[in-house]
Amino acid sequence: MVFNINNFFDDKNRKSKIADFQDLDHIDGVSISTVNAYLYDQKRDDLVLFYFRDGASYASVFTQSNIVSENIKWNQKIKSKKISALLINTRNANALTGSNGFIAIKELANDLSIKLTEKQKLDEEHPKEIKSNEILFASTGTIGEKFPLNKIKNKIPNLINNIKYTQNKLIWMKAAMGIITTDTKPKIAMSECKIGSTNIKIYGIAKGSGMIHPNMATTLGFVFTDATLSSSILQKTLNESIKNTFNAVSCDGDTSTNDMVSIFSTNKVNNPNIKNFKDSKLKNFRQSLNDVLLNLAKRIAADGEGASKFIIIKCKNTKTKEDAKNICFSIANSPLVKTAIAGEDPNWGRIAMAIGKSNANIDQKKLSINIGPFKVLVNGTVYQNYDEKILIEYMQNDLIDITVDIGLGKKDFTAYTMDLTKKYIEINADYRT
Amino acid sequence: MVFNINNFFDDKNRKSKIADFQDLDHIDGVSISTVNAYLYDQKRDDLVLFYFRDGASYASVFTQSNIVSENIKWNQKIKSKKISALLINTRNANALTGSNGFIAIKELANDLSIKLTEKQKLDEEHPKEIKSNEILFASTGTIGEKFPLNKIKNKIPNLINNIKYTQNKLIWMKAAMGIITTDTKPKIAMSECKIGSTNIKIYGIAKGSGMIHPNMATTLGFVFTDATLSSSILQKTLNESIKNTFNAVSCDGDTSTNDMVSIFSTNKVNNPNIKNFKDSKLKNFRQSLNDVLLNLAKRIAADGEGASKFIIIKCKNTKTKEDAKNICFSIANSPLVKTAIAGEDPNWGRIAMAIGKSNANIDQKKLSINIGPFKVLVNGTVYQNYDEKILIEYMQNDLIDITVDIGLGKKDFTAYTMDLTKKYIEINADYRT
């Protein structure tokens, strides 16, 4: 990667604070433990445990694929409103592993629940029993390979021994590093906000597109807050924010069997009680959560496999939101658009092609396209002062802005993606050897 | 390209003859004329005229994009049942060129009609007036650039001077070469069949994906026959065949503003009168037309930009045809699948991923996948004798067969595509300089 993604993320409209990693510290009620289970033959830790000693409220969204991994199946069955732990493994997706894959998760959940209950007895004044159905699992890696149950199970004692009740920026970084596959950078975002007059922290980590021992671009995102919020409020805020953040990102149009974004609140901070999602006291938290998720989502796009440029595609004035979204993703997923941008070629005809094939409602005579601040197409005709030289210069930027005006309505959508380079082919054409 | 595409096209089920270029000769009533209009700065001819001295019946299918080029708009307005000429230009798509682009086509049509009428007066015993609304236009090239009206118009006298009333294999080859952009090979297919006991010829040429002065992958296909058939019968046979041929091919999932496939019959051969599309005497012709279109479609996929492997994807036993088609194209358009195949990696998890994201009706427990003749997934579980070494060996072939069995119904579909290589990026990331 040739560019500093941090330059792109200081949105003007943002009200809350997206801090540097330096500001990361402790979120009360969250414990992090990482270990190298040698799932990869690498030096970094590749197995990560989040432990909530007093439990956490919780909400999640999962992959929309019709083929889902065994751990996602496990998570979807969890009915408990209180979550005690989240275990994340890399290298193996536990997808299409059949009943053995599911049984492995069950065994890990049982083992973790027993060992965490023992830890409760040792450490807590009022120890609780940790149940296996309070434990979530996230997996990313190759589909269809045998799940490395023993490698992971053997490391559970170490993971539990490593648990500390106060976290610092180093352990957040280790966790963010511990969940990545071919990502070139760990992805962390944080925000501080208020519910009523109470200060609240929101920290998030994510992994995006890529793998080393080649697999697919599983998206994982985990957000932690010390706010006191119910699971149902968390679910509503997550549902609200996911649309314009994680669901607005595309690297290659492919969808994993393992995608999962979750939020956990430890209820450690005594903020005003929020019973209604629309309570005005929640507004700042909703905005801040959106900031954190958007920041993570942008980092995923910017670190998409082989990316040399970050691309923001805005479609406005469509009749329906669906149309705006379809147009954005038709452009974002077009290999011809993405290769042109990689080649720094302002070949806007390909953008028009992608709009045309999107099936959205279009009137060619009302269609306008801007690349960066420059008009290229105005009401279906090439801009009268169109100057390709200026466009060629603009295309050399690391951040490319494409704005499409459909001129038929009032809806809009913004999507985030990256260019398509030879490096993408290199990463993904490699043998799994 | 490292492989001989002709090896792949000798379908076992084919009843009619797909001949070598050596067998191409004359189709009565078709005249071909080509010229170098220097639309590219190259030595080959880049402007092609087909002239039907006694007219031709005609049928066409056009791009499904919501943004269409000016020449396609012109063609869609043609109501005449008799076509006298087809002019094909490369280098410029005449798309998003506004009213000037349409006026240019009108001017070319007028000029051609006048000059062809003059030619009728010189050459024919019973000269006819050629009308401008009997002339079709096909264009392929860059979108949004000014249409090179004068360059083309200035060459019309040459094109008309070059018309000969008997064709040979050389002029067919020149025509096939004259319509390509970044295709590495001209694409010709032929078939001979019978309507009743009358011998009929069907010749076709096509262009596929690619460009030099970078543009998009416009698909053009033109088929010519000496059969006596009405335009409405031609339209029905074309509609029937297009689904499993040209509409079963994907190179990169992108759709041009200019796609066009047409069939012309010169009515020179005195075959039995066909009033009904389902007439059993038409069966052999329908099959042969399908053979020609399928052969051309496969050549387009095999010569897709940067292709190193030709891929056949068969999906069977779905509940609906739509499901089978969606699954095939989800696999065919997945960059992760296509790069794995380029890397000769039997990473079938990516095929499963592409099936999962297709939105088709799937029961994971009934899903089976074969790569070539080898089982990899059987009823949702890895095949018990799965041997990756054999798969790795198979992946070294130039022709990769993927078969997906959904196990829920009786419908099927077959799609054709190619792998995604660094060469694709190279071709498409180039400057238009």
How would DSSP label each residue in B159-188? Answer: HHHT--SS--HHHHHHHHHHT-SS-SS-EE
Where are chain B's structural domains? 5-302, 310-429
First-to-last alpha carbon distance for chain B, in angstroms, is 25
B47 vs B178: CA distance, rounded Å: 6
**Alpha-carbon gap, residue B278 to B296, rounded angstroms:** 25
Q: Which two tokens stand for residue A245?
A: 């953040």
Contacts of A364 (CB under 8 A, 6+ apart): A380, B66, B67, B68, B96
Question: At a CB cut-off of 8 Å and minimum separation 6, what does A349 contact?
Answer: B93, B95, B96, B142, B143, B144, B145, B215, B216
> Which pLDDT score, from 0 to 100, does residue A23 have?
74
B286-325 tens-digit pLDDT: 999 999 999 998 888 888 778 889 899 999 999 999 999 9
Instruction: Report the distance separating Cα A70 and Cα B422, nearest Å.
Output: 34
What pLDDT is stored for residue A24 in this prediction? 82
Which DSSP symbol is given to A249?
B
CATH class for domain A5-302?
A: alpha beta
pLDDT above 90 covers a percentage of chain A that reads 67
- The answer to whether B67 contacts A367, with C-beta atoms less than 8 Å apart, is yes
The DSSP string of B77-144 is H---S-EEEEEEE-SB---S-HHHHHHHHHHHHHHHHHHHHHHHHHH-SS--PPPGGGEEEEE-SBSS
Go through chain A and tell me how many residues it has: 433
Q: Quick one: what percent of chain B has pLDDT higher than 90?
A: 67
Instruction: Mark yes or no for CB contact B252/A336 under 8 Å.
Output: yes
Residue ranges of B 191-230 with Cβ closer than 8 A to chain A: 214-217
Report the distance separating Cα B318 and Cα A125, nearest Å.
Answer: 58
B315 touches chain A (CB under 8 A): no
Q: Does B76 or A210 have the greater pLDDT score?
A: B76
- Overall average pLDDT of the A290-303 stretch: 89
At A128, the pLDDT band (50, 70, 90 cuts) reads very high
CA–CA separation, B337 and B311 (whole Å): 11
Tell me the average pLDDT across A384-408.
Answer: 95
Closest CA to B374 of B359, B361, B393, B356: B393
Closest approach of chain A CAs to the CA of B397, in angstroms? 15
Q: What residues are paired with A83 via a beta bridge? A: A56
Which helix (H) or strand (E) segment is B61 a member of? strand B47-62
The token duo for A302 is 């910017």
Pairing status of strand B47-62 against strand B31-35: antiparallel
**Averaged pLDDT, A237-262:** 85
CATH number of B310-429, picked from 3.40.1480.10, 3.40.50.300, 3.10.20.340, 3.20.20.105 = 3.10.20.340
Residues A394 and A317 sit within 8 Å (Cβ to Cβ): no
pLDDT of residue A366: 96
Neighbours of A132 (CB within 10 A): 21
DSSP letters, A288-354, are: HHHHHHHHHHHHHHHTSTT-S-EEEEEEEEESSHHHHHHHHHHHHT-HHHHHHHHTT---HHHHHHH
A159 within 8 A of A175, measured Cβ to Cβ? no
Q: Please tell me if residue A252 touches chain B, with a CB cutoff of 8 Å.
A: yes
Are B397 and B364 in contact by the 8 Å Cβ rule? The answer is: no
In this predicted structure, the answer to whether residue B255 has a pLDDT above a threshold of 80 is no
Name which of A318, A209, A192, A309 is nearest A259 in CA terms. A209
Residue window 342-361, chain B: list those with CB within 8 Å of chain A.
342-345, 347-350, 352-361
List pLDDT tens digits, range A30-61: 999 999 999 987 788 999 999 999 999 999 99
Question: Can you tell me the mean pLDDT for A203-229?
Answer: 76
Mean pLDDT is lowest, of A17-31, A107-121, A274-288, for: A17-31
**pLDDT at res. B307:** 83
Backbone φ/ψ region at B238: left (φ over 0), alpha (ψ -120 to 50), beta: alpha
pLDDT band at B433 (very low <50, low <70, confident <90, very high): very low
Alpha-carbon distance A114 to A107, whole Å?
Answer: 11
- Structure-token match 């060129």, residue found: B97
pLDDT interval class at A298 (50, 70, 90): confident
* ipTM, 2 dp: 0.79
Among A212-216, B98-102, B362-366, B419-423, the least confident range: A212-216
Residues 57-116 of B with CB under 8 A from A: 63-68, 93, 95-98
- Mean of per-residue pLDDT scores for chain A: 89
* Per-residue pLDDT at A174: 94
* CA neighbor of A131 nearest in space, from A63, A83, A197: A83
Q: What is the largest CA-CA distance in chain A?
A: 76
Residue A388's closest chain B neighbor by CA? B432
User: Quick one: how many helices (H) and strands (E) in chain A?
Assistant: 12, 14
Query: Is A345's CB within 8 Å of B214's CB?
Result: yes
What pLDDT score was predicted for residue A209?
66
- Model pTM? 0.84
The pLDDT, as a whole number, for residue B428 is 76
Q: What is the pLDDT of residue B209?
A: 66
Chain A residues with beta carbon closer than 8 angstroms to that of B431: 343-345, 392
Residues A380-414 as b or e (16 or more Cβ within 10 Å = b): bbbeeebeeeebeebbeebebbbbbbbbbeebbbb
Instruction: Judge contact between A432 and A213, C-beta under 8 A.
Output: yes
User: Alpha-carbon distance A37 to B182, whole Å?
Assistant: 50
- Torsion sign over Cα B365, B369, B373, B375: negative
Of all residues in chain B, the percent with pLDDT exceeding 70 is: 91
Say yes or no: A255 contacts chain B, CB-CB below 8 A.
yes
Contact A221, A261 (CB under 8 A): yes
Catalytic residue (one of B63, B90, B182, B218): B218
Q: Which two tokens stand for residue B300?
A: 């387009």
pLDDT above 60 for A379: yes
Q: What region does B4 belong to: left with phi over 0, alpha with psi -120 to 50, or beta? A: beta
pLDDT at residue A211 greater than cutoff 90: no
Share of residues in chain A with pLDDT > 70 (%): 91
Q: Do B432 and A345 touch (CB under 8 A)?
A: yes
Q: What is the pLDDT of residues B121-179, one digit of tens each?
A: 999 999 999 999 999 999 998 888 899 999 999 999 999 999 999 999 899 999 999 99
Q: Is the pLDDT of residue A157 over 80?
A: yes
Mean pLDDT value of segment B256-285: 95
Measured between beta carbons, which residues in chain A are less than 8 angstroms from residue B420? 335, 425
- A347:B432 CB<8 A: yes
Highest mean pLDDT range out of A187-191, B15-19, B248-252, B362-366?
A: B362-366
Scanning every residue of chain B, which has its alpha carbon at the shortest distance from the alpha carbon of A383? B144
Q: What is the mean pLDDT of chain B?
A: 89
Half-sphere exposure of A199 (CA within 13 A, CB side): 6
**B218: annotated active-site residue:** yes
3-state DSSP call for residue B49? Answer: strand
Rounded distance between C-alpha atoms, residue A74 and residue B242, angstroms: 45
pLDDT at A11: 44
Cβ within 8 Å, pair A422-B420: no
A255, A64 contact by CB (below 8 A) = yes
The SS3 call for residue B220 is: strand
Kindly tell me if the per-residue pLDDT of A14 is higher than 60. Answer: no
The single residue listed with the structure tokens 């169109």 is A386
The C-alpha atoms of residue A177 and residue A6 are separated, in whole angstroms, by 18
Going by their DSSP bridges, the two strands B260-265 and B220-225 should be labelled as parallel
pLDDT band at A253 (very low <50, low <70, confident <90, very high): low
CB atoms within 10 A of CB A234: 24
Q: Which two tokens stand for residue B281?
A: 């005497």
What type of residue sits at position A364? Q
Cα gap A345→A337, rounded to integer Å: 9
d(CA B218, CA B208): 6
